[in-house]
Amino acid sequence: DIQMTQSPSSVSASVGDRVTITCRASQGFGSWLAWYQQKPGKAPKLLIYAASSLQSGVPSRFSGSGSGTEFTLTISSLQPEDFATYFCQQANSFPLTFGGGTKVEIK
Amino acid sequence: EVQLVQSGAEVKKPGESLKISCKASGYSFTSFWIGWVRQTPGKGLEWMGIIYPGDSDVRYSPSFQGQVTMSADKSISTAFLQWDSLKTSDTAMYYCARPRSSGDDAFDVWGQGTMVTVSS
């Protein structure tokens, strides 16, 4: 199985800050990586697929990059509604696997 | 509107059986895979497996193979996740989700989740 390691596990930030979250894979797999946002009591929501493609309806302040074993999710200017937990997921091969999550908290 | 609607929360005892459901609407049920994801505070999100309702092809994660059964009923556009003998460690939130295209793609549609509590 491909192991996905996210860092940091939590980050404190203010509205307007730029936030970057990293996801590292135990083996390389091209660009088949997704990012999700999850708020308490809700299902995850797809933000980015194929490492850098923005899902329809997702604000452009979210962006993704990377390939191989290292990927990043960047929120260019944090908004109040962005305080949530973010997960990466490799979508390259079964079993698909998720990172442990990064909680973005208010500073 | 594309939607997945899951069955309600369950409270069960160890050793009991359970079948939860995920009803699809707004798209061709037999043309897309449906996956199941477990979420617990301790282990985060875990991909359990995926089923293609068109021909009932199922791919299980090795971690869940033999522990659960996935099925689908095309006549009612519903996917199911089933346990024959629950354990306390099965206590979790379970989500069904639809990949964007192929079975190993990102999930763009999610159900609201079914909370399963197993306790004596």
Taking only the tens place, the pLDDT of each residue in A25-51 is: 999 988 999 999 999 999 999 999 999
> So what's the pLDDT on residue A25?
97
> So what's the pLDDT on residue B101?
85
Contact A93 B59 (CB under 8 A): no
Cβ neighbours of residue A61 closer than 8 Å, sequence gap 6 or more: A75, A76, A77, A79, A82
CB A75 within 8 A of CB A61: yes
> How many residues can be counted in chain B?
120
Q: Which residues of chain B have pLDDT under 70?
A: none
> So what's the pLDDT on residue A18?
97
Closest CA to B77 of B94, B53, B98: B53
For all residues of chain A together, what is the average pLDDT? 96
Closest residue to B108, CB basis, from A55, A97, A100? A55
For chain B, percent of residues with pLDDT exceeding 70? 100
Separation of alpha carbons B89 and A20, rounded Å: 34
Contact B104 A95 (CB under 8 A): no
Neighbours of B65 (CB within 10 A): 13
Separation of alpha carbons A36 and A97, rounded Å: 13
Contact A94 B50 (CB under 8 A): yes
> So what's the pLDDT on residue B103?
72
Q: What is the pLDDT of residues A40-80, one digit of tens each?
A: 999 999 999 999 999 999 999 999 999 999 999 999 999 99
Contact B95 A95 (CB under 8 A): no
> How many residues can be counted in chain A?
107
B→A interface, C-beta within 8 Å: 35, 44-47, 49-50, 59, 61-63, 95, 97, 99-100, 103-108, 110-113
> So what's the pLDDT on residue B16?
98
Q: Kindly report the nearest CA distance between residue A72 and chain B, in angstroms.
A: 16
Separation of alpha carbons A10 and A3, rounded Å: 19
> So what's the pLDDT on residue B112?
98
